[in-house]
Amino acid sequence: MKNRSAYHLDGVPPLKEAIPLGLQHVLAMFVSNITPLIIVAGALKLPADTKTFLIQCTMLVAGLNTMLQAYTLGPIGARLPIVVGTSFAFVPVALSIGNQYGYEAILGAALVGGIFEAFIGLIIKRIRRYFPPVVTGVIVLSIGLSLLPVGVSNFAGGVGAPDFGSFSNLLLGMIVLVTIIYFKQFTKGMSSTGSIFIGTIVGFVVAIFMGKVDLSAVAQAKYINLPRPFTYGFSFHLDACMAMIMMFIVSAVETVGDMSGVTMGGANRELTDKELSGGILADGIGSCIASCFSILPTTSFSQNTGLVAMTGVMSRFVVATGAAFLVLGAFIPKIGALLAIVPASVIGGSLVMVFAMISISGINLITKEPLRGRNAVILSVSLGLGYGLGSVPNALVNFPESIRLIFGGSGIVVSGSIAVILNMILPVDEEIKKTVKVNG
């Protein structure tokens, strides 16, 4: 008998459940998915029609790569509900490469970087011992903490909005948040599981009455558009490729954290070696596909990790249903235009809660072993320096730009690197070792 549960990895719930649950994932990631391309294309002064076309390619690749992670192709893919999209982490290095060598150099460097990350996926089993729960927990917790300001920025209207921080934006975000909490905690069944979708719909309707929604973009969008690969060519430059490879190492670290957050938040277990290897392999191969479609590299999306942790919905079919809407949006621009006009404060109303849930997943991983002695040192030093530098990036102002790009961004790389190093060099506490054996 077919499993119909949305909470089971292989569950196939009916479409009346799968569609709103899948759309929750799309709404959580949509703006973040297309914004990096808009930033880079604008900075490099790509033609407007080319930019519009590349946005459609961005949606197509995000949908295809999400399906690749969920349903796999041979060893490629984690077979987990991982949502994939264009990463903001690549924007600074892409702008640096593009301003120096042009857009083709970004694509060439991303192609090389994707191949490198795929290689990491092939050998990750051999270095898995360097990622025990305390290390992966630090990475997941760092991801959650680093994203909280993003959630609040959206809550206030989105960075750069002329009415940023206005009472109307804050009220709209609060209406969404209160709606989500109500349906999540005080109802059962589909209304509880789909609380974020309901909250977003309520917020969107309220935003229309507040005059914050411009439907003209939907009216002007085309009905049909056909994405095609190799709109741009490739060019290869050693320094550009090396800088991009370093960012792909960052991406791999974040993907480890996101996948750990999904399994811990949705199934209360750690990643298997097969899931870890397949997920990173798909991350790299997916970015190669992105390069072929002339867009920026893709990676797992942390906001969707938080969504899994919050709802407990682990069904790969649900994520694939959401991915299908992304693919449809790539061919039918009106769908994409409709998703794009949802106000930032409506999205922010859910993101503040979703991002906090990522942090809780990290805490659950960290506390799988007693949080004292050696583990306490690993957590305090890695989180203190990592989150600290992420909050005060100017502390690295005297370092070369390449170092600042890698270590002065969100702080995730610093936290993860320090946690791995300390885990390797600090002796294991005998008391904790005995406790773990007894509990095991």
The DSSP-derived string for 318-363 is HHHHHHHHHHHHHH-HHHHHHHHTS-HHHHHHHHHHHHHHHHHHHH
- 105 to 96, 110, 296, 379: CA distances (angstroms): 10, 8, 11, 39
| Residue given tokens 């320090």 in the structure block | 418
Bridge partner list, 82: none
Cα distance between residue 266 and residue 269, in whole Å: 8
- 112 to 36, 86, 172, 240, 319: CA distances (angstroms): 20, 17, 43, 10, 28
Each residue of 115-141: pLDDT tens digit?
999 999 999 888 888 888 888 888 888
> Which range is least confidently modeled, 186-200, 258-272, 363-377, 422-436?
422-436
How do 84-86 and 298-300 pair as beta strands?
Answer: antiparallel
Say what percent of the chain tops pLDDT 70: 95
pLDDT score for 189: 77
Highest mean pLDDT among 54-63, 240-249, 354-363: 54-63
**419 with 387: CB under 8 angstroms?**
no
Per-residue pLDDT at 438 exceeds 80: no
Q: How confident is residue 243, by pLDDT bands cut at 50, 70 and 90?
A: confident
Average pLDDT (195-210) is: 91
Average pLDDT (284-313) is: 91
Cα distance between residue 180 and residue 183, in whole Å: 5
Per-residue pLDDT at 266 exceeds 60: yes
Residues 423, 429, 435, 440, Cα dihedral to 10°? 30
Q: What are 408's two structure tokens?
A: 């002065």
Per-residue pLDDT at 416 exceeds 70: yes
Each residue of 292-306: pLDDT tens digit?
999 999 999 887 888
pLDDT score for 263: 92
pLDDT score for 78: 95
pLDDT score for 430: 66
Is the sign of the CA dihedral 328, 105, 119, 90 positive or negative?
negative
Cα distance between residue 277 and residue 202, in whole Å: 40
Q: How confident is residue 59, by pLDDT bands cut at 50, 70 and 90?
A: very high
What global pTM score does this model have? 0.76
Bridge partner list, 76: 73
Q: How confident is residue 356, by pLDDT bands cut at 50, 70 and 90?
A: confident
Average pLDDT (196-210) is: 91
- Least Cα distance to 284 among 44, 13, 436, 77 occurs for 77
Per-residue pLDDT at 144 exceeds 70: yes
Q: What are 404's two structure tokens?
A: 């600042």
pLDDT score for 431: 59
Per-residue pLDDT at 178 exceeds 80: yes
Distance of CA 417 to the CA centre of its chain: 20
Q: How confident is residue 89, by pLDDT bands cut at 50, 70 and 90?
A: confident
- Cα Rg for the chain, rounded, in angstroms? 21
